[in-house]
Amino acid sequence: MREEAVLFGETKSLVGILTDPPMRNGNRAKPAVILLNPGIVHRVAPGRIYVRMARALAAMGFVVLRFDFSGIGDSAVRYDNLPFDKSAVKETQDAMRFLEAARGVSRFILLGGCSGARISLQTACCDPRVVCAFLINLQMTEDVDQNSITRSAAFYYWNFALFNLKSWCKLITGKADYRNILRALGFQARTQFASGGKMSAESIQLAANLRMLAERGASVTFLYAESDPRLNDLREAVGRELKQLRALGNVRVQIIPRSDHTFSSLHDQEKLLKEICELIDAVTPATAGAPLDQRHDQLPQSVQQTLPQHGGK
């Protein structure tokens, strides 16, 4: 495996790391994987998970590029006043053009967490070179002020604490944070009442996009951490449609049990990594060969022991 620091884009100011498989030109039939910034965190991602992901996927034979959008991480700021959602899609297409020229790849898998998931989906919708998108904890609506914390708390109380004996003991013995519980439950009730069970414009658009991608033959996989409240957003947004969409065969929803939004424990990261390696292996038939668990060099744990070569001096 070889890692190389690269500069690309219109003004050669987007910074990325290109990870090549051990046999660089071994399999051009495989799509390349592009990892998109999770929110405003730079391309290493929380827990260094993108670095591990890139190395694991390269060990499976994929060319992988992780890079920073303009104004994030090491990439320079744009001065054309393009809104983020437009510039990010444009820059993802720049990344595809760069990989086409540098590695002769013409099909792409996009993977992103949080806002990176949104950009993956938007790019997939407008660019047929994208054959597959992995959307990790896709955010349907923007949280304002303290909402994200209250939402997390409400989601935790409803989905986990309610079924936990220790949490009940705390409640009964007066050790619980009653104010926080009331605030969280009130928030949950308000948001459910406000939606009224109707589909929002964003939900209708999402369902239409998923249908369009499924018809084009592109696969979309939603990956959600079980304790991420955004999972509820997806259920509320396209829950009814999801069954039909899944039946079309190209839309999947995977839930990583007991994980949180940033996969902030080592165990969560290991589960996410394993899930992604298996899913990418399953949706890219060109890579089919021996079962994943028989290829020991492709398993996440062993990737840590694989010493990459580096370039870009």
- For another protein, the binding residues (CB under 8 A) are 3-7, 13, 15, 17, 39-44, 46-49, 51-52, 73-74, 76, 79, 114, 143, 146, 148-149, 152-153, 155-156, 160, 226-227, 258-260, 262-269, 304-305, 307-313
Q: In the complex, what is the shortest distance from the CB of residue 33 to another protein, in angstroms, rounded to a whole number? A: 16
Query: Among candidates 98, 29, 17, 53, which has minimal Cα distance to 285?
Result: 29
Sequential DSSP letters for 186-239: HHHHHHHHHHTTPPPHHHHHHHHHHHHHHHHT-EEEEEEETT-THHHHHHHHHH
Residue 141 CB: number of other CB atoms within 10 A? 14
Q: Of the two residues 247 and 266, which places its CB atom closer to another protein in the complex?
A: 266
Q: Measured from the CB of residue 39, what is the shortest distance to another protein in angstroms?
A: 6
Q: Tell me which residue of 185, 166, 191 sits closest to 176, measured CA to CA.
A: 166
Q: Which is nearer to another protein, 73 or 210 (CB)?
A: 73
| CB nearer to another protein: pick between 148 and 209 | 148
CB of 274 to another protein, least distance (A): 14
Which CB atom, from 130 or from 138, has the smaller least distance to another protein?
138
Please, which residue, 153 or 207, has the CB nearer to another protein? 153
Tell the smallest beta-carbon distance from residue 72 to another protein (Å).
8
Contacts of 15 (CB under 8 A, 6+ apart): 5, 6, 7, 43, 67, 68, 73, 74, 75
CB of 227 to another protein, least distance (A): 5
Nearer to another protein, 175 or 313 (CB): 313
Q: At which residue do the structure tokens 């760069």 appear?
A: 98
DSSP-derived letter for residue 44 is: T
In the complex, minimum distance from the CB of residue 279 to another protein, in angstroms, rounded to a whole number? 21
**249 touches 283 (CB < 8 A):** no
Element (H, E) at 58: helix 49-59
Q: Using alpha carbons, select from 269, 311, 271 the residue that is nearest to residue 19.
A: 311
Minimum distance from CB of 11 to another protein (Å)?
11
